[in-house]
Copies of this chain bind each other. A is one copy, B any other.
């Protein structure tokens, strides 16, 4: 294959015509494909079906002194669930407070608490004229939706292969007291699948923020979500302690993509001072989260001991899905020099970076041939991708057979949009 960059106008026109024909063939097939969201597939959900009945009428419900798993109480969560969450990120159970069925609502509630109550006695942000937030891009759209919801000004931080651009993060955080937080997915980032380097984690833990209530929102969403071998990153809370920054870290962990996406359990890992602060609000908000679901998880995963085995079963289902996309891109796009992409070792996404100005067009072409993808701009604050180049590919939900078709269609859309772009220059 010849690079599009080296093609004459004539050659590009010819390529365009043949691509348009291929595209029309796809349109005729009346496809209904969806690579928009990082949803587990039915096969993955089926892996946890035995969990549904591990708590039954014979279960010992006395999960602690005077705490019946069915009744009120047990604000911070049952011991087994705290152990489970702690085991996933090498924390101690006493560093964990359990939340509801997902980490997103824990993150939302934590930002809310900063807005309205303030952390550890600091001024609530709603009383300030301006609050800013650092957003490594591309990133997770639902993170950005939370800060946008509260009118927090979001600042893009470019991603490198080692994580966010730490020179920029350090400079901004140490100089601007209006900056109150940064969104981080340290392991298998959403959407690029990047793993923060040890150095990045250390520099993050060592930040010297101008704001005393600056917090690193460490969303360790894919902490055990390996496609191949295990990948380790340093324990940021331990590192932060070395720098006297223990209170600067909120780590979020959930089983949404381990057990059931709609009915998992989630927890926050934080310093003692932060946990006390969290519990002060939590005890007003609830008498306790769902301890029966915590108990199901604790029993099914043996307080964490079974997690890695279980994740291997997920990996067996997900790996071929990632590979069919990557192999198709390698085969049909690589030599054309019209884009680049990540090859994640875990997580839920592949990110394709097109020629500048092509992402919206590619996604529109896909849609008009029956394939829904994450909207262009979604991985950026305010849905604005300055280059209009990033496309998040979510291969988890469709079957491998569907993905083979999806990948073929995607490469046709990429090639067609790229030819159009090159011809328009």
Q: Which residues of A contact B (CB under 8 A)?
A: 37, 39-40, 42, 45, 48-50, 52-53, 55-57, 59, 61, 68-74, 100-102, 104-105, 108-109, 112, 115-117, 124, 126-127, 142, 145-146, 149-150, 256, 260-263, 281, 284-293
* Residues in B neighbouring A285, C-beta threshold 8 A: 104-105, 108-109, 146
Contact B39 A263 (CB under 8 A): no
14 contacts between A and B (CB under 8 A): A40-B71, A45-B71, A73-B262, A104-B286, A105-B286, A116-B116, A116-B150, A142-B287, A145-B284, A146-B285, A260-B292, A262-B288, A262-B291, A290-B293
Chain B hits for A56, CB < 8 A: 49, 52-53
Which residue of the partner chain B has the closest CB to A59?
A: B52
A interface secondary structure, majority: loop
Q: Bound state CA distance, A286 and B254, in angstroms?
A: 13
- Selected from B68, B112, B293, the residue in CB contact (under 8 A) with A42 is B68
Task: Tell me whether A102 and B262 are in contact (CB under 8 A).
Answer: no
A260–B56 CA distance with the chains assembled, in angstroms? 13
Once bound together, how far apart are the Cα atoms of A263 and B288, in whole Å? 9
Which of B37, B45, B71, B149 is the one whose CB lies under 8 Å from A70? Answer: B45
Shortest CB distance A256–B (Å): 8
Does B74 lie within 8 Å of A262, measured CB to CB? yes
A263–B56 Cα distance when bound, in Å, is 14
CA distance A281 to B111 in the complex (A): 13
When distances are taken between beta carbons in the complex, the residues of chain B under 8 Å from A112 are 112, 116
**Whole-angstrom distance from the CB of A334 to the nearest CB of chain B?**
33
